[in-house]
Amino acid sequence: MSEEETTEQSGLEVPGPAEDAGPGDYASTGPGSGAEALRVEGISKRFGPVTALRDINLHVRAGEVLGLIGDNGAGKSTLIKIITGFHRPDSGRILVAGEETQLRSVAHARSLGIETVYQDLALVDELPVYLNFFLSKELTLGPFLRHREMRRRASAALDEVGINIPSVSAEVRALSGGQRQAIAVARAVNTAAKVLLLDEPLAAMGAREGGQILRLIERLRERGDLAIILIAHNYSQVVDVCDRVNLLQHGEITFDRPSAETSVAELLELVHAEYRTA
């Protein structure tokens, strides 16, 4: 039985210009001047006697890359799990596209356009790129997989965000770390994501591969329809690629400033100051 040929598009659309930011935000034009995609207000979370988060306030707009930094144990993982619907906060509220929402699960958050790419990438090394791209969402025609259509759509989606790989039929294990990370990011974006959380995407990468991912993040920002939260430990990369930086310390956001108004030296000083003895 031959595979079905279609003329469907890849599903990645580039919308028109985003709306201007409202008053009270640090900028009303330029990067991050689109509509607010996500806001958390007064979020707190306890695990028994341990307070993981207290009174967290965070927001990010379409077309903006927000850098979220902080030492190990600062609460970044807990905050991300709340935003993705894995944990429920003890107090506070979450607004998605301006609407207050109680995230019931990871699936619920994804249905609202909140996608996350974790360090483990969730790729299957033995499968080709295009099957990884449609993992658990394979296109079928009756009992048959639509391999040709999945290859076409995966190739179009990767081209859309400027990812170059030898072939979508290549096995993932044959690709570099940067290419694998890029595939995971493109897969998340291809699901009509509005908020993309990147959990340490540059960890254990060399300068060349890290540069590829930074360029990918910049291209995604230029689309104007996607809000990105980048969790990273390399402050130089954060200052270079992010529009704004939030510092999380002991469960609290202690710093929120446009990247252009801070520096690597200042961020390092803020983080190191909490360990300095008098």
31 touches 62 (CB < 8 A): no
Domain with residue 85: its CATH number is: 3.40.50.300
What distance in Å separates the CA atoms of residue 32 and residue 252, rounded to the nearest whole number? 23
Cα 126 to its chain centre, rounded Å, is: 25
Whether 267 is in a domain gets the answer yes
Say what the alpha-carbon torsion angle 249, 101, 28, 60 is, to the nearest 10 degrees: 40
Is the pLDDT reported for residue 52 higher than 50? yes
Whether 23 is in a domain gets the answer no
Higher pLDDT, 104 or 6: 104
Residue indicated by tokens 């990645």: 12
Confidence of residue 213 (pLDDT cuts 50, 70, 90): confident
Confidence of residue 204 (pLDDT cuts 50, 70, 90): low
Is the pLDDT reported for residue 16 higher than 50? no
> Quick one: tokens of 131?
């099957």
Residues paired with residue 256 on neighbouring β-strands, in sequence order: 246
- The total of structural domains in the chain comes to 1
What are the distances in angstroms from CA 266 to CA 4, 58, 133, 163, 244?
57, 20, 40, 34, 14
Local structure of residue 22 (DSSP, 8 states): P
Q: pLDDT tens digits, residue range 246-255?
A: 999 999 999 9
What distance in Å separates the CA atoms of residue 39 and residue 62, rounded to the nearest whole number? 12
The model carries a pTM of: 0.82
Is the pLDDT reported for residue 18 higher than 50? no
Q: Which residues contact 213 (CB under 8 A, 6 or more apart)?
A: 178, 181, 182, 185, 201, 202, 205
Whether 6 is in a domain gets the answer no
Q: pLDDT tens digits, residue range 71-103?
A: 888 999 999 999 999 999 999 999 999 999 999
195 touches 114 (CB < 8 A): yes
Most confident range, picked from 12-16, 20-24, 53-57: 53-57
Confidence of residue 32 (pLDDT cuts 50, 70, 90): low
Is the pLDDT reported for residue 121 higher than 50? yes
Whether 253 is in a domain gets the answer yes
Q: pLDDT tens digits, residue range 165-182?
A: 889 999 999 998 888 888
Whether 146 is in a domain gets the answer yes
Q: What is the mean pLDDT of the chain?
A: 85
What distance in Å separates the CA atoms of residue 257 and residue 133, rounded to the nearest whole number? 36
Cα 14 to its chain centre, rounded Å, is: 18
Whether 17 is in a domain gets the answer no
Whether 278 is in a domain gets the answer no
Residue 208's domain comprises 36-273
Whether 24 is in a domain gets the answer no
